[in-house]
Amino acid sequence: MTKASDFFSRDYADARKRFTEAAKAAGFTPERFMNSKAKGPRSEELSTDVVRIGPKNAENVIFVTSGTHGVEGFCGSGPQVGWLATGVYKEAPKNTAIVLIHAINPHGFAHERRVNEDNVDLNRNFRDHGTPPPHNTAYAEIHNLLIPADWDGQARKKADEDIAKYIAVRGERTFQAAVSTGSGNMPTGSFMVAKARSGRIRPGAGSSASTPPARAASCSSISTPGSAPMAIAK
């Protein structure tokens, strides 16, 4: 019997290899969407790979993604590989299709970073891009403390002291909320929200798709551990 640990990988390249090989072994041909801007740590190509399973006219579609936060892609990739390798996908109802989207943020996955190549936190970027990006006043107040002028000198020391004072007065929960809600449109901020859709994914070799790999008019999200969220589209 295959061990669950066999589904998990040591890096992005290994994860992609396991995913595509498991898909092909199950009789599916992955579609590859290249990241046209970024490269991996060894200058390797980066891509999002997609496998669609089930009837084309399915009433329901389950989207299973990994790597929205790149570094969490290790956890999300494993179940996707496991679904393919063990045949769990066969348990889906007849009127349901499954779309496995591997490494939505391949740059973050490869470089073990939460954000993508534009310093955008994709999990903060699911919003109406026809409106201005949000301004997080709470984050702006502490931005310079999180991104000091130096990391080893007096600026870092002063920032650490000021953060400690902030937490002492307002509490750790308030501090964490200010940080994690997102930096709005501050390009050097943490958890940044982009002014526009972020990412440069285009169809690659073996792909005939002319639309983004995951698009649904209406869907309800289902959160699962390890950055493998699902959405059921109707």
Q: Please, what sign has the CA dihedral across residues 105, 200, 206, 39? A: negative
Q: Are strands 47-53 and 201-203 parallel, antiparallel or unpaired?
A: unpaired
- Give CA separation, 20 vs 56, 119, 138, 207, in Å: 21, 27, 43, 13
Domain ranges of the chain: 4-117+199-233, 130-196
Residues 187 and 118: their CA atoms lie apart, in Å, by 8
User: Are the C-beta atoms of residues 63 and 230 closer than 8 Å to each other?
Assistant: yes
Beta carbons of 51 and 21 less than 8 angstroms apart: no
pLDDT 10s digit of each residue in the chain, 234 long?
Answer: 478 899 999 999 999 999 999 999 999 999 999 998 899 999 999 999 999 999 999 999 999 999 999 999 999 999 999 999 999 999 999 899 999 999 999 999 999 999 899 888 888 787 787 888 778 889 889 999 988 889 899 999 999 999 999 999 999 999 999 888 777 667 777 776 665 555 554 445 444 333 333 322 222 223 333 333 333 333
